Amino acid sequence: MDDLYRSELMEVYKDPTYKGNLTYPSIVLDKTNTFCGDHVHLSLLIEKGVIKDAKFDGEMCFVSIIGADFLLEEIIGKNIEDAKKIDQEKVLKLINLNLTTSRIACATLTLKALQEALDKYEK
């Protein structure tokens, strides 16, 4: 049973690299998973169309924390256009977890927040 998740994921869960809040974010966005009430607070620092830094915080389960941390790792340094190309399939591939349907919503919570944040930023 102790191999429920890969051990490196357990380390990410216990100490996520990108957990926290940015002091001077360009944009922040809050998103709730209606299924379970989980909630992510995403902050992004964008300069000249490039995502310079990103942090997440909130009430989140294991799967949503992993989904957030891997996603932010992926987008930092990318320009907005490339970041917008990241879809659900890409996130699921990044985290490489065997998920049931109900938990895909957990894995992609921060992705949805990111997509909304970028749309909002561009408006």
Partner 1 sequence: MLDILKIKSNFPIFFNNKKLVYLDSAATSHKPQVVIDRISQFYSSENANVHRGIYDLSERASEAYDAARKKVAMFINAKNSREIIFTKGTTESLNLVAYSYASNVLKKNDEILVSDFEHHSNFLPWQDVCKKTGAILRVLESDKFGRITKNEWQKKLSTKTKIVSIAHASNVFGTISNIKKIAETVHQFGAVLVVDGAQAIPHLKVDVQDLNCDFYAFSGHKMLAPMGIGVLYAKDKLLDLMQPYQLGGGMIESVSMKETLFAQYPEKFEAGTPNVEGAIALDKAIDYLLDIGMDEIREHEIELSKYLLDGLNKISRIKIFGEIGAEGRTGLVSFYVEGVHSHDISDYLSKSGLALRSGFHCAMPLHQSHRCGATLRASYYLYNQKEDLDFLLINLKKAINYYG
Q: Which is nearer to partner 1, 5 or 121 (CB)?
A: 5
Cβ closer to partner 1: 4 or 101? 4
Question: Which residue in 7, 8, 14, 23 binds partner 1 (CB under 8 A)?
Answer: 14
Q: Which two tokens stand for residue 118?
A: 């970028």
Q: By CB under 8 A, tell whether 22 contacts partner 1.
A: no
The dihedral region occupied by 28, where left means phi > 0, alpha psi between -120 and 50, and beta the remainder, is beta
* Non-local CB neighbours of 46 within 8 Å, separated by 6+ positions: 26, 27, 52, 80, 121
Strand order in the sheet with 27-32: 27-32, 39-47, 50-59
Residue 1 sits in the site that holds partner 1 (CB under 8 A): yes
Closest separation in Å from C-beta 51 to partner 1: 27
Instruction: Decide whether 23 or 34 has the Cβ nearer to partner 1.
Output: 34
Q: Are 74 and 82 in contact (CB under 8 A)?
A: no
Residues that bind partner 1 (CB under 8 A): 1-2, 4, 13-14, 35-38, 59-63, 103, 106
